Amino acid sequence: MKTTTSSREARLAQLLDTIRTWGGRWTSGRVQELRRLNGHIPCRTTARRDLLTLAGRGHLQQLGPDNDRYFILNTRKDVRP
């Protein structure tokens, strides 16, 4: 079980680093494309869950309607206490 948690945290850290580097709007489709380019088999559910997890941790803001949701990086002034 530790391996799963560790690989998930590593995946989240890598995604957050990429979002910080490239900026812009991030959708589950964009995350899937990134993972495909890195030689992984992307899963939409995992991509969506990863974005929601990073938003829940305060790293990203979730914007747009449910059927066109996207995420952007929180800036320091955007982070809520």
Q: Give the pLDDT score at 1.
A: 45
Q: Give the pLDDT score at 3.
A: 56
Residues of the domain holding 57: 2-78
Helix (H, G, I), strand (E, B) or coil at 72: strand
Token digits of residue 76:
């320091």
Alpha carbon distances (Å) from 16 to 1, 31, 65: 23, 11, 22
Whole-number Å distance between alpha carbons of 60 and 54: 6
Query: Is residue 5 very low, low, confident or very high in pLDDT (cuts 50, 70, 90)?
Result: low
Stretch 38-54: mean pLDDT = 94
Q: Is the pLDDT of residue 39 over 50?
A: yes
Greater confidence, 77 or 29? 29
CATH classification at residue 57: 1.10.10.10
Reported as a single tens digit per residue, the pLDDT across 49-76 is 999 999 999 999 999 998 899 999 998 7
- The tally of domains found in the chain comes to 1
Q: Are 58 and 17 in contact (CB under 8 A)?
A: no
Helix (H, G, I), strand (E, B) or coil at 75: coil
